[in-house]
Amino acid sequence: MTDHVEVRRGSYADSVSLMQVTQRVRDAGGVRAAVVAMATPLNVEVLADLGFEPGDAGPNDLVVAIRGEDAEGIAAGIAALEAGLAALARASAGAGGFGPAEPARTTASAFRRDPDATLGFVSVPGPGAFAEASDAIAAGRSVMVFSDNVDLEAEIALKAAAAEAGVLVMGPDCGTALVGGVALGFANRVRAGSIGLVAASGTGAQQVMCLLDAAGAGVSHCLGLGGRDLGARVRGASARTALAALAADPATDRVVVVSKPADPQVVAEVEALADGLGVPVHWITLGPGRPDLTAGVEEVLTAAGLGVPTWPTWSPSTASAAAPDAAPSDAPPGPAQPADPRGAADASEAADDPIGATAHPLGAADTSAAPFDPASPADPASPADGPYLRGLYCGGTLADEAMLIAAETLGPIRSNIPLADEQRLSGRAASIGHVVVDFGDDELTAGRPHPMIDPGLRLERIAAEAADPTCGVLLLDLVLGYGAHPDPAPALAAAITDARAVAADQGRDLPVVVALVGAADDPQGLEATGRALADVGAHVFASNAHATRHALRLLTRKDG
Amino acid sequence: MTDSHGRGTDAPLADLLRTDPRVVTAGADLLGQALRDQAVPVTEVDWRPPLLGEDGEDRLGEDRAGRTYRALRTVLGDARRTVANARALERMCAAGSELVAIRPASEVLGLEKGQFLHAGPPLEWERASGPMRGALIGATVFEGIADTPEEAERLLASGSLEFEPCHHRDAVGPMAGVVSPSMWMFELRDPVHGNTSYCSLNEGLGKVLRYGAYGPEVQTRLRWMADVLGPVLSRAVAAHGSVDVAAIVAQMVQMGDEGHNRNRSATLMWLRDLLPDLVSLGVDGTDLADVVRFVGANDHFALNLVMPTCKLAMLAAADIEGSSMVTVMARNGTDFGIQTAGTGREWFTGPANRPEGLFLGDFGPDDANPDIGDSAITETAGIGGFVMAAAPAIVRLVGGDVDFALAATRRMYEITLGEHPRIQVPILEFRGAPAGIDVTQVVRTGILPQINTGMAGAVAGTGQVGAGLVTPPERCFTAALDALASRATPGAEVGAVRA
């Protein structure tokens, strides 16, 4: 027999609760006797009667006295004690008793209600995001801040607190993440796998994940950073945490960092950190003269020993848009890529599809290393009648990528998110020359939902461009997945139909090219969406880079 | 622990990456729905915009919401806040309260002839409401400074008499809360932290001084209380030794009292403790019977013990730099004022609201004075309106119903720092009372503290007209937040503050 007596100072519970805990301890195997009580004079007497010596404990101290048959009995008793005390704490933090629970009004309160919650997700108006994100960090949880319009100082403060707490802040203005197979914000239902993403760009990450998915490669996690993380002020605070976490994650064998142009010194620092992590880290950083997102994905696939597939396309089937059987090639013929078996399966599935006549996976893969050649063999279909490219985007990074590619051929492009400030043009202004508009930019989202949820503004703009005789090609994106509009195809297809009809009334043919960013398993249905758009005459590409090059080909052919 | 890859489960973000996600969401429901569509357990925050700060000309171009957000960020970013609030809560809940003596105010507070205490934040005669004026008039007559109410009023208006808040002397007074030197006071001590607090003896209901009545019956009762009740009870306490009032408060909440508008079980428990000593004093039988009858018949008698007990709890939490916990809520019939642990004894005031509830006799809403009294110290300490769920018997008196009482108590957890370990609400599975009002949580959620209260007649001399529910004005909390922001630790402030 052996005794265990300990005094827990300043620890209080009421006597009835402690009697319940005591009973639990007595019921543990190998326990002969036990008292768990506040050391009131009465309880001290009880302890003494049982032969326990509680020392100098006072009425505000909790005394634990356990008599076990042996050390194992004591251990079992202590385990039962801890379980009992934990149950007390849970009961008191919960919402037991009569009446319905009142809603949690702060993130701190919600974390108390679900102590097992692993992540906070904040999408309140920007100025309110700091308080909610702070609550999550204070609760020791990582947090994704979807909110935009959070000022830089707040971001720096949150990330400093997160570093201290050993948690991750994804954002602010983090649109996309994938954690443990769960899509957060705007994200796609991609297959699970061993490639981890660290993303300073939401739609860029979606493009990369969807292409990986199309290639049969899977994603372990996609940790978002927010667009400013790799900037000179935040200095990659979240990138460092995310990289270290993915490197240590048993599900992740390879890491891809996706970013818009970032601060070179910060990138160098984070690259140096990444080099020491013991897992391969690839960088897909958009910028002039750098590989586009599709090329970056192809590099990753090749490095991983996976084949680069033919990226899916859906060709227009209407008579006015495409010559029959003329598979639109958006790139010069290149060396054949090793076919990925899963990619091939996708292609054959499409071919077997009874209504697959509208879906023509390309025969040749693009190799982005090959320079764009406007004089490449012409697609006889879809001559563009206006001189200018008009890109209307919902995804900021996709718009960036389109401008980077198009600028090489077309020169300066006006935009509300221009590559150079001289080309700034409000997203609300009428188009002049080549224009790419990002409808997801703050300028156009103030007071309304993101265009991936509410396409209204962009649909109006499509109509406006259709009526403009200088508009030669419409280049659009459509992003599927969680968070996005549940069925965006019908409204966009109708807008494309109307736009082409308006142009036709003016005697113009208006080609429409769509970058369709989605995964095969997305709730909206990738295949059905692609087909619906192709059915109304759009050229649809899974790769935004390929879509852009195809739009350029249509435009420059007309010029030629 | 390490896995087969040799990569430990204590690795960075292991909890996040290696367990099935469970998410807390605050904001757009669409995004929460996307998570539920993926069968992810989601706990939602019912987020609302915060209270708006005051218009300020010092920060041109910043709207009221912007001002609130900036102040919130500064206070939430104060490096001291978490520890300071934990300490404030711990001290508040650990405070004890023992009734150690009953003595005249002249003796225990050093109050001199011509000096008075009153409820709430500081007040000038010109701005004093009817019941406050009535109580001060009554006390002036009671002290023999004036022979008539008219003369008393003239003296008070002339500025020749002094009056200051009870809280400035660590005292509390229900309703008008007027204390004069001849009144006998409960003297309570916190054995844990060594503080002392004071409160007068409760007069009962109806036409009483604290509700602004000052007529002959009020004077007669006050005289008897000073001549018989005070001295007799004082001797009984001396004979009994100190009485643990903190224990009575914990028990009363388990017996259907909420400690503000219902103090029946506490009154009887206290009387039970004192009775053997009372009857052993050998005082005149008639006097003894009068004393026992007066105490036992006055369901509010223990309010004046509960309030200083709450004051002791809040005194223990006072003066903790960096803490955003509310330590005082008090009303003088004109203004509502609060103090916080992190801002010393500075008052943050706003115009007192008018309670809503039930009225006695022919009285109606037009007869009621704005909110008055230090008794909101009970809610400050986590009882009163905060534990209305524990007192279903009271909810109809204050114009609510049982569902409302349950919801009100549950709602208060959204603005408090923790749960009281000793004061428990049986109907909520003995959950601890919502304890420690946090200014930042009030401003963030827009939930105002729920107060149960009595209603005084607006006209001096009327007395009680009803009982009801009331909340503080928002500006007390936005002003306190601004002050906390201005005191935030240098360097802890985040965000560009415009010059």
pLDDT of residue A323: 37
Q: Does B60 touch chain A (CB under 8 A)?
A: no
Candidate from A287-296, B311-320, B489-498 with smallest mean pLDDT: B489-498
Candidate from A309-323, A398-412, B28-42, B392-406 with smallest mean pLDDT: A309-323
Cα within 13 Å of Cα(B274), Cβ side:
29
> Could you tell me the pLDDT band of residue A61, with boundaries at 50, 70 and 90?
confident
Predicted confidence (pLDDT) at residue A9 exceeds the cutoff of 80: no
| A445 phi, psi to nearest 5 deg | -110, -5
3-state SS assignment for residue A247? helix
**pLDDT tens-digit profile of A399-449?**
999 999 999 999 999 999 999 999 999 999 999 999 999 999 888 887 778
Contact B240, B91 (CB under 8 A): no
Contact A168, A162 (CB under 8 A): yes
Interface test with A, best of B19, B24, B401, B484 (most A CBs within 10 A): B24
Q: Given CATH 3.90.1700.10, say whether it is the number of domain B63-92+319-486.
A: yes
**pLDDT tens-digit profile of B306-350?**
999 999 999 999 999 999 999 999 999 999 999 999 999 999 999
Which string of DSSP letters, residue by residue, matches B169-186? GTB--STT--B-TTSEEE
Pairing of strands B372-373, B326-332: antiparallel
Q: Does B8 touch chain A (CB under 8 A)?
A: yes
Contact B378, B260 (CB under 8 A): yes
**Average pLDDT of the residues in A62-88:** 91
Structure tokens at A509: 């043919």
CA–CA distance from B80 to each of A107, A335, B493 (Å)?
20, 64, 11
> Could you tell me the pLDDT band of residue A378, with boundaries at 50, 70 and 90?
very low
Report the mean per-residue pLDDT for chain B: 92
* Strand order from edge to edge, sheet including B348-351: B348-351, B335-340, B326-332, B372-373
Is B48's CB within 8 Å of A142's CB? Answer: no
Closest CB to B407 among A102, A134, A156 = A102
**Side chain identity, residue A444:** L
Closest CB to B31 among A113, A245, A483 = A483
Contact B487, B343 (CB under 8 A): yes
Q: Which residue has the higher pLDDT, B161 or A46?
A: B161
**Side chain identity, residue A449:** P
ipTM: 0.91
Query: Domain limits of chain B?
Result: 11-45, 63-92+319-486, 94-308
pLDDT of residue B97: 96
pLDDT of residue B4: 42
What residues have CB less than 8 Å from A140, skipping those under 6 apart?
A: A165, A166, A167
**pLDDT tens-digit profile of B444-482?**
999 999 999 989 999 988 888 989 999 999 999 999 999
Separation of alpha carbons B189 and B308, rounded Å: 9
| Chain centre distance of CA B98 | 19
Strands (E) located in A172-218:
176-179, 182-185, 192-199
pLDDT of residue B54: 66
Separation of alpha carbons A485 and A469, rounded Å: 31
Q: Which residues in chain A (95-154) have CB-CB distances under 8 A to chain B?
A: 95-107, 109-111, 113-114, 116-125, 127-128, 130-132, 134, 136, 138, 141-142, 146-147, 151, 153-154
| Other Cβ atoms closer than 10 A to A250 | 18
Closest CB to B422 among A12, A113, A185 = A12
Instruction: Looking at mean pLDDT, say which of A61-65, A161-165, A326-330 comes out highest.
Output: A161-165
Is A13's CB within 8 Å of B77's CB? Answer: no
Residues of B in Cβ contact (< 8 Å) with A519: none
Rg of the Cα atoms in chain B: 24
> Could you tell me the pLDDT band of residue B278, with boundaries at 50, 70 and 90?
very high
Separation of alpha carbons B435 and B438, rounded Å: 9
pLDDT of residue A123: 93
Q: Which residue has the higher pLDDT, A209 or A353?
A: A209
Whole-number percent of chain A with pLDDT over 90: 69
3-state SS assignment for residue A197? strand
Structure tokens at B331: 């009303």
User: Is the preceding peptide bond at A523 cis, omega within 30 degrees of 0?
Assistant: no
**Average pLDDT of the residues in B86-112:** 97
**pLDDT tens-digit profile of B190-210?**
999 999 999 999 999 888 999
Separation of alpha carbons B368 and B211, rounded Å: 11
Residues of A in Cβ contact (< 8 Å) with B19: 118, 180
The number of helix segments (H) and strand segments (E) in chain B equals 18, 17
Q: Please list the residues that pair with B435 across neighbouring strands.
A: B418
The shortest C-alpha distance from B272 to chain A (Å) reads 21
pLDDT of residue A11: 65
Q: Does B242 touch chain A (CB under 8 A)?
A: no
Tokens 């994100």 found at? A133
Q: Please list the residues that pair with A53 across neighbouring strands.
A: none
Structure tokens at B433: 């009372």
Minimum CA–CA partner of B425 in chain A: A97
Pairing of strands A388-393, A471-479: parallel
pLDDT of residue A289: 87
**pLDDT tens-digit profile of B134-186?**
999 999 999 999 999 999 999 999 999 999 999 999 999 999 999 999 999 99
Q: Given CATH 3.90.1710.10, say whether it is the number of domain B94-308.
A: yes
| Other Cβ atoms closer than 10 A to B258 | 31
Residues of B in Cβ contact (< 8 Å) with A170: none
> Could you tell me the pLDDT band of residue A341, with boundaries at 50, 70 and 90?
very low
pLDDT of residue B229: 98
**pLDDT tens-digit profile of B35-84?**
998 999 999 999 999 998 766 544 445 678 888 999 999 999 998 999 99
Q: Cβ-count burial of A9 within 10 angstroms (0-12 exposed, 13-18 middle, 19+ buried)? A: exposed
Predicted confidence (pLDDT) at residue A540 exceeds the cutoff of 60: yes
| Chain centre distance of CA A293 | 16
Q: Does B23 touch chain A (CB under 8 A)?
A: yes
pLDDT of residue A12: 67
**Average pLDDT of the residues in B92-107:** 97
Q: Does B66 touch chain A (CB under 8 A)?
A: yes
